[in-house]
Amino acid sequence: MAQTLDRNETGTESDQSSAAPNRAEARMWYYMRISGLILVFLALIHFAITHIVNDVVETDFAFVQTRWSNPLWRFFDWTLLALALSHGVIGVRTIAEDYIRKPRLRVAVKALLFTVVAGIFLLGTITIVTFSA
Amino acid sequence: MLSRGTVYKGKTGMWAFTAHRVTGFLVLMFLLLHVVDVTLAGISEHLYDTVHAVYGNVLLRLFEVGLLGALVFHALNGLRIIAVDFFDAAVRRQKQLAWAVVAVTAVVTVLGGIVIMLPFFTHKPVF
Ligand code: HEM
């Protein structure tokens, strides 16, 4: 992690002084784009069904029950959860790298961010898997 | 520029970059809240329905419209970023693409916003 931080201090994407962090940064760069492309479909379909085609007051417990009686919807929802959380957490990590200049504060904020998002991922996964329709 | 601002080739300006950051952050914050409220469905039907009913009030409906706008902007602008990263033709049409993103976001948000807000006044779903 400390090496990743160095990259930010030393320079731009093309900086070759430390290859390993750059490779990690490059992978994240691609991950943001690939997950983004998939999220266009998953997130917008999800929003259209649960906020536009159905009104908010209609997406009650009975709605969740009907929807999750089909394992394919559980799979859809879990994929959306995993992609949106991972894309979002990597994105906010970048924001933290850019704006938080104090190294120790930056590490603390990122640790908090990863912990909260991991907890929410666990919670969502348990809910999707264990819900009895 | 030393930060990752470097990935944004072209000179469409800071506003699209900033708006992309803000919307991405806000959508993630909503997602964290949303997972918690759906988790209630796994705990108790009554609890979920009670909490979920709150989303029907006018303030949270406006919030929902805001979420739609943020998500649509971020999705379309994300596609623009990807296009600019990989295609020269998109670099040349930077400005037009950025304005197309804003225009389509506005249209979708207004139309979607009407569908989201109307049931509050008519007390029945649009579809
Ligand atoms: C709907 C389709 C989406 C597309 C096409 C998309 C695309 C992108 C792209 C291309 C980037 C730039 C990454 C980079 O510069 O390296 C990005 C950043 C980001 N995205 Fe998304 N995204 C989408 C959905 C989401 C969702 C659902 C969330 C929240 C959970 C989110 C949160 C973020 C955040 C926080 C950033 C970081 C902004 C920054 O670094 O300036 N995105 N997105």
Q: What share of chain A is helix, strand, coil (3-state, %, to 5)?
A: 85, 0, 15
Count the domains in chain B.
1
Give the whole-angstrom CA distance, residue B35 versus residue B60.
16
pLDDT at A9 over 90: no
Average pLDDT, rounded, for chain B: 91
A91 CA closest ligand 1 atom index: 37
Out of A40, A55, A60, name the one closest to residue B49 (CB). Answer: A60
Residue-wise pLDDT tens digits, A49-62: 999 999 999 999 99
Cross-chain residue pair A60–B25, CB shorter than 8 Å: no
Residue-wise pLDDT tens digits, B75-100: 999 999 999 999 999 999 988 999 99
The average pLDDT across A80-88 equals: 98
Residue B2 lies in a domain: no
Residue B118 lies in a domain: yes
Residue written as tokens 């596609």? B79
Residue pairs between chains A and B whose CB atoms are closer than 8 Å: 119
The torsion of the CA quartet B2, B7, B13, B19, rounded to 10 degrees, works out to -100
CATH number, domain containing residue B100: 1.20.1300.10
Give residue A55 CA to ligand 1 midpoint distance, Å: 27
pLDDT at A11 over 50: no
Task: List, as ranges, residues 3-62 from B with C-beta within 8 Å of A.
Answer: 3-7, 21, 24-25, 27-28, 31-32, 35-36, 38-39, 41-42, 45, 48-49, 52-53, 55-56, 60-61
Residue-wise pLDDT tens digits, A122-131: 999 999 999 9
Tell me how close the Cα of A53 comes to any Cα of chain B, in angstroms.
Answer: 6
The average pLDDT across B15-20 equals: 94
Task: Note down the domain range covering A84.
Answer: 2-130
User: What is the model's pLDDT at position A117?
Assistant: 98
Residue B3 lies in a domain: no
CATH number, domain containing residue A49: 1.20.1300.10
User: What is the model's pLDDT at position A1?
Assistant: 37
Task: Note down the domain range covering B44.
Answer: 12-122
Closest CA to B78 of A105, A85, A56, A41: A41
Give residue A36 CA to ligand 1 midpoint distance, Å: 6
User: What is the model's pLDDT at position A20?
Assistant: 80
Tell me how close the Cα of A98 comes to any Cα of chain B, in angstroms.
Answer: 6
Q: With contacts defined as CB-CB under 8 Å, which chain B residues touch A29?
A: 7
Cβ proximity of B102 and B44 under 8 Å? no
Q: In sequence order, what DSSP letters do the residues of A64-103 get, joined into one string?
A: HHHHTTSHHHHHHHHHHHHHHHHHHHHHHHHHHHHH--SH
Count the domains in chain A.
1
Residue-wise pLDDT tens digits, B37-67: 999 999 999 999 999 999 999 999 999 999 9
